[in-house]
Structure 1
Amino acid sequence: MSFWPTAKPLFGDEMVLRSIDWLENFPWRNEATIKKEKDKYSICLHAKDFSPDDITVKTADGFIVVEGKHEEKKDEDGYISRHFVRRYALPEGCKPESVESRLSSDGILTITAPRKPVVRRDTVIPVSHEGSVKSKL
């Protein structure tokens, strides 16, 4: 006779699936998808709990800084406030002033920056001489 005759196994498949669903919908889980393409750099992250006014995107010291913050709000379980800050290194070839962002109706924040290939050229640096130069005889 089982301890819980009518209960399903505690760690069965259904329990695992419920745990996975709960983790995927964890409120402050902000996974980002980053694409580093030849001509564009883009970041997509989940921000469904934030309005456009709650989000700031800026560039500072070679980074894209994304911050989302909203004050305490009432939800179905009580009250909640949220805050996150993410920093992403701005890749070579992206100008800070070219970064753009948009929030879709389904809560996906997309940040893009056009990327121009960096052309590296050889540069000859002249050598300057100080003092007198002795001539060879």
Structure 2
Amino acid sequence: MKKLRDPIVKKDDGSEALELQLDVSNFKPEEITVTTSGKQLSVHAKHEEKTGNSSVYQEFNRSFTLPDGVKPDTVQSTLSKDGILSITGPVDRALEGPKKIPIEHKK
């Protein structure tokens, strides 16, 4: 089984970013969706083609848990001409670690 590389990469300026690349070249752009729900990132692509007596059906599903420090609303995706889907997003390490939650005092 092929091991996926760490999706967090160190950029030239020292910052970190989420970078995923997926080959979806068998699908048209309108057949591909990228969604987030909470910390879950999902990529889904579906192609159906019926001609005469034959039909072709292809489906692609991948789900990832966004690493700590990556906010779902900052994730972006781009599709290259050769069908490589790149999913990127900044990593904010300030989002990690314990956070003090204020206590509201009722009188």
TM-score (norm 1): 0.57
Q: 1:10 matched to which residue of 2? A: none
| Rg comparison, structure with higher value | 1
The CA RMSD over aligned residues, in Å, is 2.8
Are residues 1:37 and 2:9 paired?
yes
Are residues 1:63 and 2:40 paired?
yes
Higher helix proportion: 1
How far did residue 85 of structure 1 move?
1.1
DSSP-derived class of the 1:82 partner: strand
User: Which residue of 64, 68, 71 corresponds with 1:95?
Assistant: 71
Are residues 1:48 and 2:20 paired?
no
How far did residue 95 of structure 1 move?
0.7
Q: 5+ residue gaps in structure 1?
A: 1-30, 127-137
Q: 1:116 matched to which residue of 2? A: 92
DSSP-derived class of the 1:37 partner: strand
- Could you tell me the percent identity over the aligned residues? 35
Kindly provide the CA deviation profile for residues 34-65 of structure 1, in whole angstroms up to 9, marking residues without a partner as x: 53125201110111011110100010131110
Q: 5+ residue gaps in structure 2?
A: 11-15
Runs of 4+ aligned residues of structure 1 deviating over 2 Å after TM superposition are 31-35, 118-123
Cα distance between partner residues in 1 of 2:73 and 2:39:
11
TM-score (norm 2): 0.72
DSSP-derived class of the 1:53 partner: helix
Cα distance between partner residues in 1 of 2:42 and 2:30:
16
Kindly provide the CA deviation profile for residues 84-109 of structure 1, in whole angstroms up to 9, marking residues without a partner as x: 21101101111111110011001101
